[in-house]
Structure formats: structure tokens, C-alpha cells
Amino acid sequence: MLEQDLTGKRIVITGANSGIGLEAAKVLVQKGAEVILAVRNEQKGAIAKETILSGNPKGSVLVMGLNLADLSSVREFAQNYRSRFDTLDILINNAGVMVPPYQKTKDGFEMQFGTNHLGHFALTGLLLPLLKKTPNSRVVTLSSIAHRGARILFDNLDGSKGYKAMKFYGQSKLANLLFAKELDHRLKQYGMATKSLACHPGISSTNLFKIGNKDAPGYVKALMKLFLQPAEKGALPTLYAATETSLNGGEYIGPDGRGNRKGNPTIETPRSGVYNSETMKKLWDVSQKLTGVAYDFSGE
């Protein structure tokens, strides 16, 4: 599916030690890219690195620690990255948590909104100086079909006025989609070449599908294999969004099958009203305030 040679490209993938991120990393390394696995658990990252290199012995893979549920870790990662590298071709905001019991990040955010959206918002802003100076750079942010029917609960972002895990997961994935679109709008507004895109894997059997912190029972896994597509297929929209040269930025890539649950990557049009400019601006302003990360769109 991925034809072009990516030799010389430097790519950061968050949460790349399993699932969609790992499968995308395998392909990108195979095509010659230098891939940085930005992961919370560096031991699992080391295992993922071995897995990737077992299929690509000459590949270039680096593991770096990043906990998106801790803004100090996000800042530390960005600082470490900038001290080692002066370019960034592609940032893939892939990591995510799904329907945990109510809990908060180190900074007091609801875990799903804090990790899935705010952590990536901060990371992207902190790495923007390198993206700006790297020709044809991209930011790819993973959303989900769970964004459908969701809304941003500005009066209850931390879940303190009531929490339903799936509702808050949908909110975080809607935030991912709106962030990707608003970022692309602002990049274009300031005449920047960096592109921002969103994608989603359809419904893939990854380790997001856990019950609490436990693996799903065997019969659930059997059903998942029957109805869901494997992670390597779920990674195709990510790879397409990250590398397809015909994309202009601002697109949303998902599977082309029924309900966009499985299939091959295509440009998907979200339902009418999803891209509400007032909501996107408000989300952007709130995100900057909560994270303390202000985006610099100047040409410097």
C-alpha cells in the first residue's frame, strides 16, 4: 500500500509500543524512515523496537519516554527531542486511553480528555518550531468513529459534575478531530507549509479493548476477530494520512467500508455540523489555557 521511499524522514509516533502505532511504525521503518517511539512504558517500547527491527534489521528506531497524562513529561520529551534533533517530518498523535474508570491526570484533567487531547495538543505545540522548519512536514491526529454524536462538555471537562466513560471517550475523540482541523486552518492562515490531518482506524482489535485494566475474555476476543479488522489493517488510514502526497491538509481519513468500520483508507466527510468554527476556536483557547502551551505561528 505504501510505495514511496521514506529514507531521511524522521517520524514521532506516540503510543507506538502496541496496536495501530506499532503496526504503522513497522511499515514506516520498512520504507526507510527513522521512527521515534514516544511511549509511557519504555520497557514495552524496547520490546516493540525489537519486534520492529526483527523484520527490518537495518531499520532506525529510537525509544523515548513520554507520558501524555503528565504535562511535565510532555515538556521534558519535547526538550529532549529538540536537544537531539533539529527536524521533524511527521508527528503522529496516536496514543490513547479508552473508557477507564473515572480518574485524573497528574495535572487534574479527566484522564481521557487529558491524555487523548490535551497531552497531544501540548506536544504538538512544543514541537511546532521543528515542524515549521522541516519541508513538507505533517501532523496526523487519530480520532475515532466514537466522535459521532459526541460534544465538548465545556462546563464539565474534568468530569466532576458526572462521568460516563464512553461519553467522555467520545468527547476526547471529537476534540482530536476538531484540533486537527483547527490546526490546519491556522497553519494555512499563517501561510505555513506544515499540514494537519485527522484519521481513524475504524474498529480495530487493539489493546484499547480491555475491560478495566484486564484483557477481554477469550470469547470476546473471538468475536472481535470476527467483526473487527486487525491492527495492521487499522493502521492503513494512519499511513495514508501521514504519507499520501495528494492530500492538502485538513482531510479526515478512515476506512471505506460500511459505517467506516473497516476497509481501505479513503477521505471521509464528517457529518454536517461537526466542524463548528465557534466550538473549534473555544476548544483551542481552552486547551491553550489548560496546558499553558501557546502556539507560535510566526515565520521564525
Q: At how many degrees (to 10) do helices 120-133 and 71-84 cross?
A: 20
Half-sphere exposure of 114 (CA within 13 A, CB side): 22
Which residues does the annotation mark as catalytic? 163
What are residue 58's phi and psi, to 5 degrees?
A: -95, 5
Q: 142 has which bridge partners? A: 199
The b-or-e profile of 179-190 (16+ CB within 10 A means b, else e) is bbbbbbbbbbee
Residue 215: which residues within 8 A CB-CB, separation 6 or more? 207, 221
Amino acid occupying residue 63: V
Q: How many CB atoms lie within 10 A of CB 47?
A: 15
